[in-house]
Amino acid sequence: KENKKLRHVKREMEKKFLFNFEKNRKAVSEVVVMVVMIALVISISAIVFTMTKKTVEEKIKKSEACGPNIIGKLSINSEYVCYDSVKDEIVFSINRGEIELDKLIIAIETETEVKKFEMIEGVEGGIDNLLLYPNRETDVMLPAKNSGRTYIATGFSEPVIGIKIIPVINEEQCEVADSLNEITDCKLTTIF
């Protein structure tokens, strides 16, 4: 009888041990799962942060360079723009305010093509199909700060329908600073 009792007590103890072991094992499993989940969330957060950090820094750099402080400081003087259909060229004038530039991109549009000219700050030299007005000098350069300059772009086989100027500041190409989509024929103006 005592042996039976002992066996019963022993079985009960084993059951309790197994129950507690299973309970503790489940508790440990839940802790491990929680630690893995936290590590996973931290890893994903680090990846997202790394990926977006560069994009955000680029956007900040561009907004600082091309922000609202350039509005109105670079423009096309529409009074001095016309297309000469006899010579297949456009005369245009650019005004520059107090603004730092790396370079200026001029995009001139016809019905079938866009010709781009790039003038680099501080560099005076020849740019194909771009001349200074009125003497047709080949050493073109950007207007100085707080001044304007008139140019002649040549080599157009069809009428020019638009012109855009795009500044590059701190190595960032900005949005179009100014554009003109109505180009008068030079025969109709008294300026040129």
Q: What is the pLDDT of residues 51-109, one digit of tens each?
A: 888 888 777 766 666 777 788 899 999 999 999 988 999 999 999 999 989 999 999 99
Confidence at residue 152, expressed as pLDDT on a 0 to 100 scale: 95
Task: Judge whether residue 20 has pLDDT over 70.
Answer: no
Predicted confidence at residue 186, as pLDDT, reads 86
- DSSP states along the chain: -HHHHHHHHHHHHHHHHHHHHHHHHHHHHHHHHHHHHHHHHHHHHHHHHHHHHHHHHHHHHHHHHSSGGGTTSEEE-GGG-EEETTTTEEEEEEEE-S---SEEEEEEE-SS-EEEEEEETT--EEBTTEEETTTTBSEE-PPPTTEEEEEEEE--SS---EEEEEEEETTEE---SEEE---EEGGG-S--
| pLDDT over 90 (residue 6) | no
pTM of the model: 0.68
